[in-house]
């Protein structure tokens, strides 16, 4: 037997020890005949042991050992040199599954619960609430039907109502068949302690043919509350934009109305020949509008009125001259022969 120091990814890095003992050939002391010597790389090219038949690879059901939960990976190999068939086992601790689920859910802003269990047996593998998967004596694994957790009780209630009169293993088998046939998770809604939850049942492939059944409970009341809060914030923003737009529009309309009234008043004064109240000798219109279009209108009116005033002044001047000439003719002495 070879022991290696592995990194965090499970890849062997350093050979720690080699154990070799012939044993007596019995099942109780089979010994180690060195068959796997230098074969820790699982049958690299040129190696003696063939691990290529994946149909012989499988996982044993979860079990408890020294107060921890384990799953054992088993593979059959063939030594084409010694013609031996070899059974290889590797124990995997699954204690960290619950911790991993907790870390994942800590990044999600909504209340959730997730459980992973063996799809064939219903034994618990890990839960996001940190509950132990071991029994009270810590020498065995509990099934989903043996848990007193609120969510697990609800899950069992749903399974029993959906697949009645069946053993747990048969119920789980039905769920797996539906998911595999549709390639879609099973979705449904549940109410727990007055709160609405959306539930998702799905299969999580691990390696080889191993798959875990996961149940995910999402608190929809919390989601809706957050959406309503976001909607209210959006409504306030939109209402503020509308109020600002109306205010700006009203102010603009008021300013334009004032400017139009100014121009209208000036035109009305011009209509009644009150030029001095409107025109300035040097600057043209008094109180010129800051609106470009209205200012252009005022300039045009100013030019028109200026021409009219000049024409009128010239006409008045000619009329006065004509009148003066007539008076002079009348007053001129006459000579009679």
pLDDT, tens only, 281-318: 555 555 556 666 666 666 666 666 667 667 766 776 76
- Arch. (CATH architecture) of 96-221: 2-Layer Sandwich (3.30)
Least Cα distance to 221 among 193, 184, 181 occurs for 193
Report in angstroms the alpha-carbon separations of 103 from 1, 51, 99, 110.
36, 35, 6, 14
How far apart CA 232 and CA 238 sit, in angstroms, is 10
Question: Could you tell me the maximum CA-CA distance found in the chain, to the nearest angstrom?
Answer: 184
Count CB neighbours of 321 within 10 A: 10
Task: For the chain, give the mean pLDDT.
Answer: 75
- Which pLDDT band holds residue 156 (cuts at 50, 70, 90)? very high
Using the predicted structure, report yes or no on whether residue 266 has a pLDDT greater than 80: no
Domain range summary for the chain, segments of one domain joined by +: 2-92, 96-221, 226-324
Report in angstroms the alpha-carbon separations of 233 from 247, 253, 270, 307.
21, 30, 55, 62
pTM: 0.57
Using one digit for the tens of pLDDT, what is the confidence trace for 163-187? Answer: 999 999 999 999 999 999 999 989 9
Least Cα distance to 126 among 259, 27, 13, 215 occurs for 215
How far apart CA 155 and CA 162 sit, in angstroms, is 11
End-to-end CA distance of the chain: 169
Instruction: Mention every residue, 6+ apart, whose C-beta is less than 8 A from residue 92.
Output: 70, 71, 72, 73
Average the pLDDT over 153-157 and give the result: 93
Higher pLDDT, 113 or 34: 113
How far apart CA 284 and CA 304 sit, in angstroms, is 11
At 308 the pLDDT is 67
Could you tell me the two tokens for 240? 């503020």
- Which pLDDT band holds residue 46 (cuts at 50, 70, 90)? very low
Using one digit for the tens of pLDDT, what is the confidence trace for 77-110? Answer: 776 666 777 777 778 888 888 888 888 888 888 8
Instruction: Mention every residue, 6+ apart, whose C-beta is less than 8 A from residue 168.
Output: 121, 122, 143, 144, 145, 159
**Burial readout 149-183 (b: 16 or more C-beta within 10 A, e: otherwise):** bebbebbbebbeeebeeeebeebbeebbeebeeee
Report in angstroms the alpha-carbon separations of 24 from 32, 33, 155.
10, 11, 51
- SS3 state of residue 101: helix
At 47 the pLDDT is 52
């Amino acid at each position: 037997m070879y022991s290696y120091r592995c990194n965090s990814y499970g890849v062997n890095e350093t050979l720690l020890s080699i154990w070799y003992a012939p044993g007596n050939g019995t099942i109780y002391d089979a010994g180690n005949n060195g068959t796997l010597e230098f074969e820790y790389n699982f049958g690299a090219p040129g190696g003696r042991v063939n691990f290529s038949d994946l149909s012989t690879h499988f996982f044993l059901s979860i079990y408890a050992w020294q107060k921890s939960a384990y799953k054992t990976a088993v593979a059959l190999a063939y030594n084409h040199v010694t013609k031996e068939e070899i059974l290889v086992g590797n124990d995997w601790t699954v204690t960290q599954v619950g911790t991993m689920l907790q870390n994942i859910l800590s990044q999600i802003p909504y209340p959730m619960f997730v459980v992973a269990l063996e799809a064939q047996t219903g034994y618990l593998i890990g839960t996001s609430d940190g509950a132990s998967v071991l029994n009270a004596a810590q020498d065995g694994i509990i099934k989903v039907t043996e848990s007193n957790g609120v969510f697990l009780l609800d899950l069992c209630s749903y399974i029993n109502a959906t697949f009645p009169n069946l053993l747990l293993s048969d119920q789980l088998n039905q769920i797996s068949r539906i998911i595999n046939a549709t390639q879609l998770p099973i979705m449904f809604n549940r109410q727990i302690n007055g709160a609405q939850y959306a539930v998702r049942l799905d299969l999580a492939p691990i390696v080889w043919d191993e798959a875990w059944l996961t149940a995910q409970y999402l608190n929809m009341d919390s989601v809706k509350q957050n959406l309503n809060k976001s909607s209210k914030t959006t409504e306030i923003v939109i209402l503020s934009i509308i109020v600002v737009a109306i205010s700006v529009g009203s102010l603009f309309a008021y300013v334009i109305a004032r400017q139009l009234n100014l121009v209208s008043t000036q035109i009305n004064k011009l209509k009644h020949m009150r030029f001095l109240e409107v025109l300035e000798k040097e600057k043209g219109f008094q109180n010129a509008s800051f609106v470009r279009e209205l200012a252009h209108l005022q300039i045009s009116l100013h030019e028109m009125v200026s021409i009219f005033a000049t024409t009128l002044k010239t006409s008045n001047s000619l009329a006065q001259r004509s009148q003066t000439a007539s008076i002079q003719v009348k007053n001129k002495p006459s000579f009679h022969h």
